[in-house]
Homo-oligomer: A and B are copies of this chain.
Amino acid sequence: MTLTVQTVLNRLMEPVEHIQNTVDTLKFGHPKMEVTGIATTFMATQQVIERAIHLGANLLITHEGLFYSHMDNQEILEENTVYFEKNRLIEESGIAIYRFHDYVHRYQPDGIMAGLIEALEWKTFIEKDTPTSTVVKIPPMSVSEIAEYVKDKLGIQFVRTVGELSDTCTRIGLLAGYRGGGTLSIPLFEKENLDLIISGEGPEWETPEFVRDAVYQGKRKALIVLGHAESEAPGMKYLAGRIQTLFPEIPVHFISEKPLFQVL
């Protein structure tokens, strides 16, 4: 039986009630296209798209948008040669590209967080899942030990930290992606009596400065910032495994990217 793009999309959205306004749309390709191979990725960069084509995937599922804007702001792309070239590659290859962001975050538990927890091997330590965060209680480790553990498990080059590296932590809040801002993280610190938050990304003078003040006041709080991609790529890898289970006859790949930043 032919597997269409729409069938795959329906299965992916199935666990969640219909979302009215969503960025999760088919950006390229047609819903009736036959799917012969699937790839997932954090963000469909030019290199990721080429790799998907090379692997024979004709449906690429990307967590973040193709063109550097959450709401697909087209104005920033006017007369933009990088955009033209990337767009041409996609159109000429005929690959279908679906953004899968809002729905996977509304899985219960959050599908992206589930992948992060699995990569960290902290599933047995989960105390609480909320729609935007997960609280774990781990055996005592220092901030620097946790930083090294996290880098090792996620295979990442560096993390940025705020707080005393020698402080011992057991209660940790995890927030993937752009949930590291003060609106979510600051109340979570207090409400859940956290020693540490590990997040993807957030404005620098919100949560990081809150932690700086807390530490200066003698409170034991710390922050580890992973990077946005670093915090969400494991979720898209995890998703590839789920999709493979749903469609065992179709080859499914997860495509990773190189680290985005270099630290000098």
Enumerate chain A interface residues (CB-CB to B < 8 A): 43, 45-47, 64-65, 68-70, 73, 75-82, 85-86, 144, 147-148, 151, 158-162, 165, 178, 182-183, 186-187, 190, 201, 203-210, 212-214, 216-217, 219, 225, 227-229, 257, 260-264
Is there contact, CB below 8 Å, between B209 and A73? Answer: no
In the complex, chain B residues whose CB is within 8 Å of the CB of A148: 264
Is there contact, CB below 8 Å, between B201 and A158? Answer: no
Is there contact, CB below 8 Å, between A68 and B263? Answer: no
Is there contact, CB below 8 Å, between A77 and B43? Answer: no
* Cα A43 to Cα B70 with chains together (Å): 29
Is there contact, CB below 8 Å, between B204 and A68? Answer: no
In the complex, chain B residues whose CB is within 8 Å of the CB of A208: 260-261
In the complex, chain B residues whose CB is within 8 Å of the CB of A229: 204-205
Known: A77-B186, A80-B186. 20 other contacts (CB 8 A): A45-B212, A68-B207, A68-B210, A70-B203, A76-B182, A76-B186, A78-B187, A82-B214, A82-B217, A147-B264, A158-B263, A159-B264, A161-B264, A162-B260, A165-B262, A178-B203, A204-B228, A205-B229, A208-B261, A212-B260
Which 7 residue pairs across A and B have the least CB separation, nearest first? A160-B261, A204-B228, A68-B182, A147-B264, A76-B186, A46-B213, A82-B214
Is there contact, CB below 8 Å, between B151 and A217? Answer: no
Task: Please tell me which one of the listed residues B75, B151, B187, B205 contacts residue A76 in the complex, with CB atoms under 8 A apart.
Answer: B187
In the complex, chain B residues whose CB is within 8 Å of the CB of A227: 204
* Cα A205 to Cα B190 with chains together (Å): 29
- Nearest B-chain residue to A143, judged by Cβ: B264
In the complex, chain B residues whose CB is within 8 Å of the CB of A216: 45-47
* Cα A260 to Cα B163 with chains together (Å): 9
Q: In the assembled complex, how far is the CB of residue A220 from the closest CB belonging to chain B, in whole angstroms?
A: 12
- Nearest B-chain residue to A150, judged by Cβ: B264
* Cα A131 to Cα B40 with chains together (Å): 40
Is there contact, CB below 8 Å, between A219 and B68? Answer: no
Indicate whether A201 sits within 8 Å of B201 (C-beta atoms), given known contacts A162-B260, A186-B80, A213-B46: no
- Nearest B-chain residue to A80, judged by Cβ: B190
